Amino acid sequence: MQLPVKIPFVLFLFIFLLQACKKSEVTVSNCNIGFTNVSPDAGPLDFLVNANVISGGLTYAASSGYVSTVPGTYSMQLTNTGSSDALFSFTGTLTTGKYYSLYAIDSLSRIRPIIIEDNFIADTARAKARFFQFSPGLAKVDMMIKPTEKDTSFNKATGRTFNDQDTTNTFQNFDAFTADTCNVTVWRSKDSVVLAEKKNYIFKKSKLYTLLLTGTDTAASSTRRLTIQITEH
């Protein structure tokens, strides 16, 4: 497997002098990317840019937060932490003022990166959310966000499949709903069996949320079984 071309280290530091930060703290004139490991049987991962480790030792379900860099086209790699052997090599182009989320998905033997552009347009009167199904091997699922003490549901996804936002781009969008304390439930579409639930989560006005279904329903470890991860932006 061909490795990315290295750039001089001093120039690399100038281009990619990074620190983990919240969305509100990054530099708008640059571009910003966050890394998340959701491969259900992977160990800690390193994310490399131009052969330099940018986020190292990222354990399962952990995220780096956004890091800021100069726009451009970069050679990127996923490796097991401390290894020089690439699990996956790819090229990514990052654009000025954009935010990106990079997820390491699928089982370790088939691991691959997914880069999603994050379009953060808040609604001052409501919350917004999007849902990604990152649990490999599951049948179609439905997801619902429902207020804890009300009968109506605010946000629902139906018939979702593994990594389907990669082919249906509209699934990458944030959908608005009334901010409230809610239960988030995911169930199998064919028989309504509940697979995962997060109760009494407080969704706030003007905030955006990414909901991930991660893990597997056959995992031996409880920490890697199906769960709903929620990230507030």
- Identify whether residues 96 and 193 lie together within a single domain: no
pLDDT, tens digit, 9 for 90 and up, residues 140-158: 999 999 998 776 667 789 9
- Identify whether residues 114 and 168 lie together within a single domain: no
Structure tokens at 42: 């992977």
What local confidence, expressed as pLDDT, does residue 140 receive? 95
CATH number of the domain at 159, please: 2.60.40
Q: Cα dist. 205→66, 99, 103, 123 in Å?
A: 22, 21, 26, 7
What local confidence, expressed as pLDDT, does residue 15 receive? 43
With a CB cutoff of 8 Å and minimum separation 6, the contacts of 138 are 161, 162, 188, 195, 213, 216, 217
- Identify whether residues 34 and 53 lie together within a single domain: yes
What local confidence, expressed as pLDDT, does residue 4 receive? 38
CA nearest neighbour of 182 among 228, 136, 219, 225 = 228
d(CA 109, CA 119) in angstroms, rounded, equals: 31
The answer to whether residue 4 is domain-embedded is: no
The answer to whether residue 1 is domain-embedded is: no
Last residue of a domain, which of 89, 118, 147? Answer: 118
- Identify whether residues 42 and 100 lie together within a single domain: yes
d(CA 196, CA 188) in angstroms, rounded, equals: 10
What local confidence, expressed as pLDDT, does residue 151 receive? 67
What local confidence, expressed as pLDDT, does residue 220 receive? 65
Name the stretches of the chain with pLDDT < 70: 1-29, 151-153, 219-220
Last residue of a domain, which of 90, 118, 146? Answer: 118
- Identify whether residues 216 and 171 lie together within a single domain: yes
- Counting the structural domains of the chain, the total is 2
**AA letter at 207:** K
Structure tokens at 126: 């409501």
- Identify whether residues 206 and 146 lie together within a single domain: yes
- Identify whether residues 99 and 80 lie together within a single domain: yes
- Identify whether residues 18 and 76 lie together within a single domain: yes
Across the chain, the runs of DSSP E, i.e. the strands, are: 31-37, 45-49, 52-58, 63-69, 72-80, 86-94, 99-105, 112-118, 127-133, 141-147, 155-160, 175-177, 181-188, 194-202, 208-214, 227-232
The answer to whether residue 182 is domain-embedded is: yes
Last residue of a domain, which of 87, 118, 149? Answer: 118
- Identify whether residues 80 and 111 lie together within a single domain: yes
The answer to whether residue 185 is domain-embedded is: yes
The answer to whether residue 135 is domain-embedded is: yes
Domain that holds residue 139: 127-232
The answer to whether residue 32 is domain-embedded is: yes
The answer to whether residue 3 is domain-embedded is: no
pTM of the model: 0.84
- Identify whether residues 88 and 185 lie together within a single domain: no
- Identify whether residues 133 and 107 lie together within a single domain: no
CB-based contact 124:206 (threshold 8 Å): yes
